Amino acid sequence: MGAIRFSLFYEHQLPRPWDHGEEARLYQDALDQIEIADRIGFDYVWEVEHHFLEEYSHSSAPEVFLAAASQRTKRIRLGHGIVQLPPEVNHPARVAERIATLDLVSGGRVDFGTGESSSSAELGGFGVRRTAKRAEWQDAIDAITRMFVEEPFAGWDSRHVQMPPRNVVPKPVQKPHPPLWVACSRRETIEFAARNGIGALSFSFVEPEDAGRWVQEYYRIIESDECVPAGFAVNPNVCVVLPMMLHEDEATAIDRGIDGAHFFGFALAHYYGTTPHDPGRTSVWDEFQEHRAARGFDRDQIIANAEALNVNIGSLRGAVGTPEQVVDLIRRYEAVGVDQVSFVVQAGPNRHEHICEALELFGEQVLPRFAEGREEREAAKAARLAPAIEAALARRAPARELPAGYRIDEEAETARARRRRRPRVTPASVRAELRAAGRRRVQQGFYRLVHGRSDAQVERRFGARAQRVFFGGMARAFDPAVAGGFEGDLEFRLTRGDGPATVWTIRIRDGRARAREGGAGAPALTLTAATADFLRVLAGDANPASLLMDGRLRLRGDIELAPRISEMFGGPSPY
């Protein structure tokens, strides 16, 4: 039995139409909501850092917003997450400075969430290469945590960051530094979090039972010698994020919260998929209204009293329901060892007064049910993990001592930075970039193929040549790093309204994928769907979980493989 903590999660969503006058209201309302959350006993408030994601997130300077929140609250922890660590977005020293300053003004209440960003709007906007961002994250978090503990910071000279020795001030209140987290969107990144000894903030909207498997794997790694902490402390925690709205009457909760939950999911797919976006002009809200049903966010499929919450991840109902339903859902996450549930209540068109009512109700009827014995269970967990954490910290390269006598030397330092700033181009880096570019071109091709067309039109366009281009491109886009050692045949059976099914096989062997027409002898997984449905899924224009529920997508064989197929072939992922 775990011990569970609760948080609010803010994106500052603002569906169109607007003329920016609404932003002041949005921010002031959020501050009022957080004041309530602090009073009733929420443990954390998280705020994202996103850039240029109009409507989906107007939260581009969370360091400012959370600092304001620090003076309106007394106890609630301030989750600054996720901070985008690629140095093109935020210089590592600026990140260390703002985290430390927020820790100072809040009296040591900061949690430091990290990530790489993953939308084209952000990566293209700041010129961050998708193929480099994971390495940039790893590099930056090492530098930043050293800035917190080294005095002076002994300098940095990596491919991504060059900085001479400096004493980075101020230092955080919490020693050695605020708890670290990383944003995760799939099993691999949760394992990655564990290997780095930091908390996993999961945005996968998984069902409790799936989350349980991830939690087990997470803690197995934390306690193994695979864990080499990225910071100078280990933060063993798994948090799952869910949309939420609460009311005594279930139908009212759905009415008040489901559009927000669905807009959240739709807009996330909009920015993290390959949907075209025309800055300042595309209305995500209008697109949502038009396409929500097709993408698995049909308002009419959400029916009161139908079933337990969040068994149907495709519909993204999350924790929209009555206090009893939400308590039941949280108990299931608690039972599998999830440490924190984070609720997105401010989402889409959700109204401030409904959000405030839901929070008050949560404080009265949900929070008290989880408080009893929590400190004791957390202390027991800490005691159990203590030896493993001590062993893990011994594996981390220690803080450095700069020999005395280093003198600041502007000319030499600037010249050095200038030399290193030229990007290194190697045959491997060129190949990796070509592969990444190829993947996105294939996806964009799908999108153009299916968007705004009828099923019959899509089928007609998907002739022999298009199939070769498509499956060939898919094989070329294969990323062995995500496949996790899988070898075998994936069989695709694409039915048509007016004729025989198209059958293709992708064979994965020795870290490479090859496509050929025809069925497989002993496929590891067979995937059957209408041609148009299948292509819409790959284009991000339809939701696979929703099609599975409707029986329009059928799987045979090792169905655990299914959710990873999209990623293996370069599908979108929010972090």
- Tokens for 253? 């909760």
For position 77 contacting a second copy by CB under 8 A, the verdict is no
Residues 515-544 close enough to bind a second copy by CB under 8 A: none
Nearer Cβ to a second copy (123/458): 123
- Binding a second copy (rule: CB under 8 A), the pick from 351, 395, 418, 512 is 418
Considering only residues 419 to 448 of the shown chain, the ones binding a second copy according to CB under 8 A are 421-423, 436-437, 440-441
- Which tokens belong to 183? 């944003």
The span of 240-248, 277-285, 504-512, 556-564 binding a second copy (CB under 8 A) equals 277-285
Alpha carbon distances (Å) from 456 to 42, 228, 548: 51, 53, 21
- Determine the size of the site formed for a second copy (CB under 8 A): 89
Residue 166: CB atoms within 10 Å: 17
- Tell me, what DSSP letter sits at residue 403? P
| 499-509 β-sheet, strand order | 512-517, 499-509, 488-496, 525-530, 553-557
Q: Which is nearer to a second copy, 174 or 202 (CB)?
A: 174
Nearer to a second copy, 408 or 522 (CB): 408
- Using CB under 8 A as the binding rule, the residues of this chain from 542 to 561 that contact a second copy are none
Indicate the residue type of 357.
E
Q: Which is nearer to a second copy, 153 or 534 (CB)?
A: 153
What is the smallest separation between the CB atom of 40 and a second copy, expressed in angstroms? 20
Q: Which of 1, 17, 280, 465 contacts a second copy by CB under 8 A?
A: 280
Please, which residue, 433 or 455, has the CB nearer to a second copy?
433
Contact predicate 59/34, CB 8 Å: no
Out of 188, 413, 455, 479, the residue judged to bind a second copy by CB under 8 A: 413
Q: How far is the CB of 145 from a second copy (least distance, A)?
A: 16
- Give one word for 236, left, alpha or beta, with left for phi > 0 and alpha for psi -120 to 50: beta
Find where tokens 């700041």 sit: 126
Under rule CB under 8 A, residue 23 binds a second copy: yes
Distance from C-alpha of 221 to C-alpha of 194, rounded to nearest angstrom: 6
What is d(CA 87, CA 100) in angstroms, rounded to the nearest whole number? 18
The closest of 137, 262, 258 to 192, measured between CA atoms, is 137
Residue 319 Cβ vs a second copy, minimum distance, rounded to whole Å: 28
* Residue placing its CB nearer to a second copy in the complex, 28 or 224: 28
Task: Tell me how far CA of residue 488 lies from CA of 27, 188, 435, 557, in angstroms.
Answer: 51, 20, 22, 12
Touching a second copy, residues 91-150 (CB under 8 A) = 91, 93-94, 97-98, 100-102, 104-105, 107-108, 120-121, 123-130
Give backbone dihedrals phi and psi of 377, rounded to 5 degrees, phi first.
-65, -35
Nearer to a second copy, 416 or 552 (CB): 416
Q: Interaction with a second copy in 365-404: which residues (CB under 8 A)?
A: 402, 404
Which CB, 391 or 437, lies closer to a second copy? 437
Nearest to 347 by CA among 429, 285, 394, 413: 285
Binding status of residue 414 toward a second copy by CB under 8 A: yes
Q: Is residue 90 part of the contact set for a second copy (CB under 8 A)?
A: yes
